[in-house]
Structure 1
């Protein structure tokens, strides 16, 4: 059975049309279908089907239609306390298939599902509004498809459709910009500029508005004669002392039409140096841009970078504002954007063919891939040319040392230099370390360094593995350090994170920050660590592997530091929530929410890694605290997937501790996260386990928290009555516990759900009580949330000025708290009020600000819906 809504409403059984009865009966079917399995209250169904023109016996008529639909189509239309529920598989409804294809980036397939005007033949105010919304979704998909076609150089083929669409939608500025670009790239600047002038006058005469900034930007680019040859320039700088590799460079030059080149070779052999040198030599051959990413395939302190993450970064670099969700959708958008362009993509340090394949453009774009492995699958399955690197020829190694140390110094000790070249075995990394140390001591004869190498000679390098000679080079380098710096090097090898802050280094070394900075500076000078951004340090992967093998006792100083710091940061965000104490001799203080959020932003990856390591080594109290304390940050940044990862580790820690209260808390939060991610069944199984565990305790506050989470989940799933029921039960529990903070939050949430059910008198009473209590307690987060609820109530009471005032107060508080997730939501609601009050320009401004935040936070559902409205 298939249901068609994107045109005249129709039902097909194995392809054959099924007669579905009177227009009102069809209306009932559609009103249930569009809810995707959510219940629809009877009163809401009546309003959707008839609006204000409902007949006297509308309820009985509705029941009759539902009964007929059950029999006629053999549908399972369930009657629940919350209303009627119709559940069908998403692939059975063309509207849901359309949306899924749009998310995947298959825009041609998505638009091909439309057969005409959506919901044709259905009449009511609700259907008119829904039809308009669906039309906006279709237009948004068409515009996205136009962008892909333009990015792919298909401007000429697109022109006829763009001209027709521009005639149909004369006020669509995004469409106007697309038409102007297509005309410009077809060599018709005059018509493009005329179209802009027409659009500008039309907007001024009919709407009293100026063209939007994006449209003005396109106009300026055309006036400036911009060519379609600009793009991202992401290549790192070439290595300053690159020498040799003439044969390998020639092999890359003769690659011809082979667009993928896998550059293999062991760690430290100079793969990246070769790729960057060749890329900069041929910079002008790629006028449309160069993309670069370190895939971290062999990084000891981080997992290989997922292709989905890389694609997001590439799409942003290519100018995409809206990033689709999912690997396939991002890969499709990426291929469309680079198609037909003369570009270079450098994929550095790949772990496997599987990691690389989604990043291949599928066009004539040149791709360089570096890896320690030969990537036979890339060669066999994708036509890659393999260029394998060996050690440097002795003459090239000699030339390298001459370039690095100066010809006079090298000429003064020719025999010693020959020894250095020999013992380094032609390995570029080893040569770099020797040269760096000699450069740091310009007054020392090179024989000093040669003597040290003689005492610990390099062994041969085992292809594809870390050879003992490399360890000898690192050992020699560490031996040249002061005792304090050598100890610091070994301790940094125990960190296990991709990078580390100066404050964390100070805690690890148990030194004041100023002293720790001086110690790490010595490691920087020896090229053993790199300060890649101010105040944060990382090691090359091979250096890190060597350091990790050194016999040092790091104790628990770093874990204690992170545990104490994350607790302090979480308490700055939620000062009224109790967290277990954790002692550390290095304590961070946070001046407020903004400072705490900034610290979380910088340390997030390190905290997750530290939590995983704490769990592995049995530090279950630290693993639990890290997961618990990360939760408020994840909520404010909309990082639900990360929150799930953190709570799963915290749950394992709680189980190891045998602490049922902690287990229940983890299950409770996982339930809410999984519901938000669309995995309702899994979410509710966690809720059930949470209640089961909480039932074994007399902790009223914990019971209240469980009901609070389930109320949120019920609201998210559309069951407002159930959400209100859980809110009121949670309020009772918090009052029994004597927790005024939780009581204030529960009052607001109950008031909000009354408002969502249209019971505004009760809603206002609850929320005003909540505001008084929050203000009494100085609970800024609770005050902001309550102001948001009161604004919503005022809006629906028609008190637009009060609504705007409440929303602006809430927004100011959320900004002080650096809660960007709630800022976005409030901005959208503020735009709604301005729209209702007839101020379209102000509404649009607020919506655009909300959309920008939604997109940054990866909130695809909200962003897509709001973009369609805009």
Structure 2
């Protein structure tokens, strides 16, 4: 086996192996190390670099590739090769005889055994030399518990980091080309998933100029019907062969799950999502089926802090291979694929609804909110658990909505969008909210054609809220107006009446932003009248009254009605400190602090205390847009009172938060800070 050229990164892994080899030999123990990882990740390259560092301290090196194809070598064939290299006086005809001679020949020597592509722990054990001063290095595409049972040391080899991926791709390319096409080369490395074999193949294509320069190659890769088919060397489908080999070794159920994981829109997924892709009678065995894929290193298990469900990852190129299989009629019937997609979307809907019920008690129209799904958690840490779950799935949520939309599951699309509101808003993911609710609006428009206007009402309302959050006031007002018009047409439905009341609150907030305070007061009063209507849902009345107090207090203060504003703010704080909606608790405290800060005088100390308390709450539950506003309010108050050191620090913090949220207020605040020096 020759040492690979070039060799990029892997210093930590190499140091680990060399250090453990030294420790084992010093202790008089035989070290056995198995490099594990997906096909093409560079296990062999790393092993051979370690061999290069170790070879001089051994009497003899025995190396062989067991192989994973039909031409794979048996243990007996390998023993024949090893005995010849050891200069054994005879090679017995039987397997047992060969092992006896092999052990005798290795008992008196320090041997470095190097085996590529081991398939089982039993095979490796049969090839272990007899001396304790020997070391065995092996690679395997499998992650076997038997390796652990035998006491072998597993070395996990992962894909390259982003910078190292580009370094491998550009090795020995013309420096002028690299400088001119750096963006294209980064994009190519990303398409390769920073997988060393894929990068090496593409680098060879660039050096031979088979597909022109980086821009031409990138265009070809992006437009390829099958990306894997582009990783070809001299007409051989190098990368595809690696994954086909692993796939053919799977059982039928494992093959089915492998293929259907290609339907998942993200490379990372929870166990329950994988189970949803299986047929109903197979879902109970999902953990074992997933472990079979982990064992074959087709997926890997990953961790997510604060999340109870097991999570897995499938490399982007492996997922493309799976996606290519699931789309082939000989593997999956189109009706089965559609059923699996729908099952996946339904599983995500149940998941999101269960967490939304924890985050907020606000009114929802989706049928799963009507007692069908229970809140995922209860207790003091329920909010943080629900947020952690949704945060771990954030990258998938938008994609699931898009997938359901493309598949035409309109009744699921608007429900998913509705159920995601609180998470997206509490985390300040407004671009996601606009995208998701745009899908929801299109789906609700289709549902409306069959007579149900309530989903359309809800989507207009939520889109208006999202546009309001990013200060696109004209678009926000347009959606609020359309929601109000629909609500008026729907008549006396209590749920619709509640939504109409909310629309006037939001219209009032738009007017406040535009400094149209009288119009804002009028909108809030209109909302209050609707909340007091006997037809308004009784279970929601008190909460909506307190929300009006919370949102209306700063507006009342802006028109000089300070006493009313303070009373309203106090009522809101008293209510929401007992409510499960912790974001509204934080907002009510911040709004009362804002009112008292504006009132000044004797109210100033309590204003500061409330704003500090709100800031702690906002940090604790992770609502960065609220935190930014409170930082700005508290910083402005402290500056006004002469505490400019802390005041400026808070304003800088607010500006950074606004900028992270792509909020236009960041630019205005930066300008203020620059003016003040």
Question: Which residue of 642, 652, 676 maps to 2:432?
Answer: 642
Partner of 1:716: 513
Shift of 1:829: 1.2
Q: Report SS of the residue matched to 1:536.
A: strand
1:542 aligns with 2:320: yes
1:428 aligns with 2:238: yes
| CA spacing shift, 1:585–1:836, aligned 2, 3 Å | closer
Q: Report SS of the residue matched to 2:509.
A: helix
In structure 2, distance between residues paired with 1:713 and 1:815: 26
| CA spacing shift, 1:538–1:511, aligned 2, 3 Å | farther
Spell out, residue by residue over 1:25-69, the C-alpha distance to the aligned partner (whole angstroms, 9 max, x if none): xxxxxxxxxxxxxxxxxxxxxxxxxxxxxxxxxxxxxxxxxxxxx
Question: Which residue of 614, 625, 630 maps to 1:810?
Answer: 614
| CA spacing shift, 1:656–1:577, aligned 2, 3 Å | same
Question: Which residue of 763, 767, 785 maps to 2:569?
Answer: 767
Q: Report SS of the residue matched to 1:695.
A: helix
Partner of 1:665: 458
In structure 2, distance between residues paired with 1:296 and 1:648: 32
Spell out, residue by residue over 1:619-645, the C-alpha distance to the aligned partner (whole angstroms, 9 max, x if none): 333211110111112222222222122
Spell out, residue by residue over 1:201-237, the C-alpha distance to the aligned partner (whole angstroms, 9 max, x if none): xxxxxxxxxxxxxxxxxxxxxxxxxxxxxxxxxxxx9
Shift of 1:372: 5.8
| CA spacing shift, 1:758–1:650, aligned 2, 3 Å | same
| CA spacing shift, 1:756–1:842, aligned 2, 3 Å | same
Partner of 1:633: 423
Partner of 2:348: 562
Partner of 2:289: 519
Spell out, residue by residue over 1:744-776, the C-alpha distance to the aligned partner (whole angstroms, 9 max, x if none): 011121211011233322211222233334346
Partner of 1:751: 553
Question: Which residue of 801, 805, 826 maps to 2:605?
Answer: 801
Structure 2 residue runs of 5 or longer lacking an equivalent are 1-39, 47-161, 194-198, 203-212, 224-228, 305-310
Shift of 1:705: 0.9
Partner of 2:249: 480
| Equivalent residues in 2 for 1:590-629, closer than 5 Å | 591-629=381-419
Spell out, residue by residue over 1:59-117, the C-alpha distance to the aligned partner (whole angstroms, 9 max, x if none): xxxxxxxxxxxxxxxxxxxxxxxxxxxxxxxxxxxxxxxxxxxxxxxxxxxxxxxxxxx
Shift of 1:597: 2.4
| CA spacing shift, 1:719–1:594, aligned 2, 3 Å | same
Shift of 1:869: 1.6
Spell out, residue by residue over 1:179-211, the C-alpha distance to the aligned partner (whole angstroms, 9 max, x if none): xxxxxxxxxxxxxxxxxxxxxxxxxxxxxxxxx
Shift of 1:596: 2.3
Q: In 2, are the aligned partners of 1:531 and 1:538 still within 8 Å (CA)?
A: no
TM-score by length of 2: 0.59
In structure 1, distance between residues paired with 2:590 and 2:606: 11
Question: Which residue of 268, 272, 281 maps to 1:503?
Answer: 272
In structure 2, distance between residues paired with 1:504 and 1:283: 45
Q: In 2, are the aligned partners of 1:567 and 1:629 still within 8 Å (CA)?
A: yes
In structure 1, distance between residues paired with 2:251 and 2:41: 31
| CA spacing shift, 1:239–1:371, aligned 2, 3 Å | farther
- Between 1:601-610 and 1:560-569, the stretch displaced more is 601-610
Shift of 1:864: 4.5
| Equivalent residues in 2 for 1:18-29, closer than 5 Å | none
Partner of 1:858: 662
| CA spacing shift, 1:841–1:681, aligned 2, 3 Å | closer
In structure 2, distance between residues paired with 1:278 and 1:625: 44
In structure 1, distance between residues paired with 2:360 and 2:373: 23
Question: Which residue of 728, 734, 744 maps to 2:531?
Answer: 734
Q: In 2, are the aligned partners of 1:668 and 1:687 still within 8 Å (CA)?
A: yes
Q: In 2, are the aligned partners of 1:637 and 1:857 still within 8 Å (CA)?
A: no
Shift of 1:545: 2.8
1:574 aligns with 2:352: no
Q: Report SS of the residue matched to 2:393.
A: helix
TM-score by length of 1: 0.47
In structure 2, distance between residues paired with 1:586 and 1:281: 59
| CA spacing shift, 1:431–1:295, aligned 2, 3 Å | closer
| Equivalent residues in 2 for 1:406-417, closer than 5 Å | none
1:783 aligns with 2:585: yes
| CA spacing shift, 1:585–1:640, aligned 2, 3 Å | closer
Q: Report SS of the residue matched to 2:560.
A: coil
Partner of 1:421: none
Q: In 2, are the aligned partners of 1:597 and 1:818 still within 8 Å (CA)?
A: no
In structure 2, distance between residues paired with 1:645 and 1:376: 23
Q: In 2, are the aligned partners of 1:754 and 1:762 still within 8 Å (CA)?
A: yes
In structure 2, distance between residues paired with 1:745 and 1:487: 50
Shift of 1:612: 2.2
In structure 1, distance between residues paired with 2:219 and 2:383: 46
Partner of 1:312: none
Shift of 1:576: 4.3
Question: Which residue of 694, 701, 708 maps to 2:498?
Answer: 701
In structure 2, distance between residues paired with 1:632 and 1:527: 37
In structure 2, distance between residues paired with 1:813 and 1:748: 16
In structure 2, distance between residues paired with 1:493 and 1:584: 30
Structure 1 residue runs of 5 or longer lacking an equivalent are 1-236, 244-271, 305-345, 350-366, 378-387, 394-424, 434-473
Spell out, residue by residue over 1:296-334, the C-alpha distance to the aligned partner (whole angstroms, 9 max, x if none): 9979xxxx9xxxxxxxxxxxxxxxxxxxxxxxxxxxxxx
1:551 aligns with 2:321: no
In structure 1, distance between residues paired with 2:605 and 2:439: 47
| CA spacing shift, 1:766–1:542, aligned 2, 3 Å | closer
Q: In 1, are the aligned partners of 2:299 and 2:314 still within 8 Å (CA)?
A: yes
Partner of 1:831: 635
In structure 2, distance between residues paired with 1:593 and 1:376: 41
Spell out, residue by residue over 1:626-684, the C-alpha distance to the aligned partner (whole angstroms, 9 max, x if none): 10111112222222222122112212222222321221221123234335545544433
Spell out, residue by residue over 1:452-495, the C-alpha distance to the aligned partner (whole angstroms, 9 max, x if none): xxxxxxxxxxxxxxxxxxxxxx3x54331023311211221222
In structure 2, distance between residues paired with 1:594 and 1:834: 31
| CA spacing shift, 1:371–1:636, aligned 2, 3 Å | farther
Q: In 2, are the aligned partners of 1:594 and 1:816 still within 8 Å (CA)?
A: no
Question: Which residue of 225, 228, 233 maps to 1:392?
Answer: 233
| CA spacing shift, 1:430–1:623, aligned 2, 3 Å | closer
Q: Report SS of the residue matched to 2:420.
A: helix
In structure 1, distance between residues paired with 2:281 and 2:646: 54
| CA spacing shift, 1:284–1:613, aligned 2, 3 Å | closer
Q: In 1, are the aligned partners of 2:656 and 2:666 still within 8 Å (CA)?
A: no
In structure 2, distance between residues paired with 1:831 and 1:520: 52
Q: In 2, are the aligned partners of 1:670 and 1:683 still within 8 Å (CA)?
A: yes
Q: Count residues with an aligned counterpart.
A: 462
In structure 2, distance between residues paired with 1:530 and 1:778: 37
| CA spacing shift, 1:851–1:758, aligned 2, 3 Å | same
Question: Which residue of 446, 451, 455 maps to 1:656?
Answer: 446
In structure 2, distance between residues paired with 1:784 and 1:240: 51
| CA spacing shift, 1:542–1:614, aligned 2, 3 Å | closer
In structure 2, distance between residues paired with 1:852 and 1:642: 20
